[in-house]
C-alpha cells in the first residue's frame, strides 16, 4: 500500500520549565492510520499532541500536518479536530441541540444527529443538559461532537477517560471506521486495549523519545 504521510515529526525537541520533555522525537503517520501514543504520566504525550495541533511550538525540529506546519488558524481547524481540553458547554442547550448546532455549522456533517446519538449511546439522554450528564456520558458527547464534524485528522487526548469497557470497544470501532474512510488518528492513551481494538499502531513515549511498541 502506498500511503501519503499526513503527519511528519522530525527531531522535535520541547523544553518546559527548564526540563527537556521531548528530545529528538521522530514520527510519521500515514493517511488512514491510527497511532496510539502510550507512556507514563509526564512522558510528553499531551505536549506532542499540542505541537501537532499548532498550540505549542517546538524548540527544535520540524512538524508538518497535512503538508504544512500546524497553525492555530481556522483553515487548519477545518481539517483537524482535537479533543482533550474541556469544551465550553451551552447550559441552555440539550445534548441533541449541541449536536444539531455542530451539524448546522458544518455544511457536510459526517453523520446525522439521530445517527450520532445512537452511535454514542446518548439517545436516552438526548434531552438532558450537559451538566446533568455523568462523566462518561459527557465524554461521549465530546467525542460525538468531534466525530460529527468533517475532518481529516483527529487528535485525541485520553479519549477513554470516563468511558466504560463496553463503550471503549465501540469507540475503537468508530475510530477504525474513521480511519477506513481515509481519516488519520493520533491519540494519547493509557488504554493499550483501545489501540489494539482499533487496529492502531502503538508508539511509546519514554525519555523524551518515541519508540514503536509491541
Ligand atoms: N507549562 C508547563 N511548564 C512546565 N512544565 C510543564 C508544563 N506543561 C507540562 N509540563 C511538564 O511536561 C511534562 C510532560 O507533560 P505532558 O502533559 O505532555 O505529559 P503526558 O505524557 O501527557 O502525561 P499524562 O499521562 O499524565 O497526561 C510533565 O513533566 C509536565 O509536568
Domain boundaries defined on the chain: 1-79+152-214, 89-150
1-79+152-214: CATH topology: Rossmann fold (3.40.50)
pLDDT at 1 over 90: no
CA of 19, closest atom in ligand 1? 5
- Distance (Å) from CA 41 to ligand 1 centroid: 8
CA of 49, closest atom in ligand 1? 18
- Distance (Å) from CA 187 to ligand 1 centroid: 16
User: Residue 105 contacts by C-beta under 8 Å, 6 or more apart in sequence?
Assistant: none
* Average pLDDT estimate for 63-80: 94
List the beta strands (DSSP E) in the chain.
5-16, 19-30, 34-38, 60-65, 80-83, 153-157, 184-188, 201-206, 209-212
Alpha carbon of residue 154 to chain centroid? 4
pLDDT at 214 over 70: no
Q: Which residue has the higher pLDDT, 83 or 3?
A: 83
Q: Is 188 touching ligand 1 by the criterion CB < 6 Å?
A: yes
* Average pLDDT estimate for 66-91: 88
The pTM is what?
A: 0.94
Report CA torsion sign: 82, 83, 89, 94.
positive
Whole-number pLDDT of residue 85: 66
- Joined together, the cell numbers standing for residue 50 give 499540542
Whole-number pLDDT of residue 28: 96
Q: Give the residue, out of 46, 158, 186, 191, with the most ligand 1 atoms within 8 A of its beta carbon, to mutate for a pocket test.
A: 46
* Average pLDDT estimate for 15-39: 95
Give tens-digit pLDDT for 182-191: 999 999 999 9
Which residue has a Cα nearest atom 31 of ligand 1?
42
Sorting pLDDT into bands at 50, 70 and 90, what band is 210? confident
pLDDT at 3 over 70: no
Give tens-digit pLDDT for 114-139: 999 999 999 999 999 998 999 999 99
Mean of the per-residue pLDDT values of the chain: 92
pLDDT at 87 over 80: no
Q: Note the ipTM here.
A: 0.96
DSSP letter, residue 162? T
Q: Is 204 touching ligand 1 by the criterion CB < 6 Å?
A: no
Amino acid at each position: 500500500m502506498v500511503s501519503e504521510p499526513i503527519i511528519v515529526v522530525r527531531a522535535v525537541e520541547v523544553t518546559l520549565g527548564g526540563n527537556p520533555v521531548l528530545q529528538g522525537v521522530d514520527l510519521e503517520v500515514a493517511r488512514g492510520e491510527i497511532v496510539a501514543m502510550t507512556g507514563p504520566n509526564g512522558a510528553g504525550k499531551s505536549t506532542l499532541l499540542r505541537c501537532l495541533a499548532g498550540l505549542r511550538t517546538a524548540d527544535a525540529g520540524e512538524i508538518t500536518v497535512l503538508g504544512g506546519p500546524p497553525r492555530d488558524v481556522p483553515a487548519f481547524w477545518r481539517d483537524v479536530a482535537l479533543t482533550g481540553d474541556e469544551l465550553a458547554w451551552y447550559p441552555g442547550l440539550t445534548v441533541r441541540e449541541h449536536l444539531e448546532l455542530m451539524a448546522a455549522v458544518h455544511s457536510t456533517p459526517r453523520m446525522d444527529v439521530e445517527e450520532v446519538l445512537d452511535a454514542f449511546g446518548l439517545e436516552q439522554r438526548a434531552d438532558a443538559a450537559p451538566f446533568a450528564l455523568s462523566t462518561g456520558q459527557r465524554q461521549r458527547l465530546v467525542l460525538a461532537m468531534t466525530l460529527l464534524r468533517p475532518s481529516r485528522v483527529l487528535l485525541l487526548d485520553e479519549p477513554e477517560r470516563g468511558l466504560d469497557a463496553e463503550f471503549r470497544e465501540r469507540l475503537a470501532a468508530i475510530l477504525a471506521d474513521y480511519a477506513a474512510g481515509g481519516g488519520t488518528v493520533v491519540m494519547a492513551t493509557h488504554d493499550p486495549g483501545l489501540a489494539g481494538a482499533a487496529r492502531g499502531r502503538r508508539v511509546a513515549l519514554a525519555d523524551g523519545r518515541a519508540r514503536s511498541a509491541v
